[in-house]
Structure 1
Amino acid sequence: MKLPRIAIAALITAAAVLAPVSAATAATAGSGGAGSDADGLQQQIDAVLAEFPGGVQTGPDEVSWQDGAVVLNLAPEGQLAARSVGSCATGAHCVYSGVGLSGSKLTFSTCSTQSVAPLGAPVASIANARSVVVRAYNSVGVVGSVSANSSASTSSWGVTKVGC
């Protein structure tokens, strides 16, 4: 199932709304005792599901849409696990909230141009584990590209969509 154009526009618009929710969640996650990271992560997932209908929680840190064609992996705030192009499955491309392929990750297994809004943060890096070029877009148009089997730092690009 493809997201309708209005849903994609809503996802892009909602990114601005979701960023403050993530910051509030981070404050909550860091303030409790044992289990607070898990509670904070669940709050992030709940916020994403509320903002982006049609998603399904498929793991303790994962939400997916379109029967798994789009997958968001959330990292607990302050616990940004390093990622490499190898962590982005062959045949997919991934966007990350952190530089150097770190932080929360949104994975795309289809090549259609799609919103990165569910990531809930500016796209700071992109991994391309495909055999084709992945293009990054902002509201004006193409702002950069990532060659096959490589990655790029994109924090200054203002990425709102990716596709190949």
Structure 2
Amino acid sequence: MKNKSKILIAVVLCIMIILMVVAKVKVNNTYKDFQVKTKDLSSNQYSYVDHTLKISPEKSFVKGKIYYAKLKVDSERNTLFPLNKLVLYRGKENQPSKFIDVPTINGKKTTKLKKGNNTVVIYTGTPTKQNTLYLVENPKVGKYIKYRVNFE
């Protein structure tokens, strides 16, 4: 009886080790071409998002306990503003903040961009130490470009 339980434990351990190796190989294959580049973006430059939007930083400021960022967005067509591609970096100790509230676009609370030039104001809670805005682009699967937005 003791031999059977030892054999059963050994078989279960072997199966678990095989499953862990298979999972590790799968993760390595999934992320083998994963790449993140960081570029600076200043107010006289544009970043293309989704090949239809040009985003340029205008200014950022803190008013009360709210961090605001004002962006110029040039849209080739009527579309939705990609709020999920912007994060507020708060330093290594804190998780970046997503902008989850509805932005102000051309003076109205909406996510809809009109064709042509748009002024977008996004906001979130005040950062504790650092307030660096990043625009994250995902041109291909596993490829990311982080634009560090430099307001002047």
TM-score by length of 2: 0.27
Higher relative contact order (CA 8 A, sep 6+): 2
Instruction: Identify the structure with the greater helix proportion.
Output: 1
Instruction: Identify the structure with the greater strand proportion.
Output: 2
TM-score by length of 1: 0.26
Name the larger-Rg structure.
Answer: 2
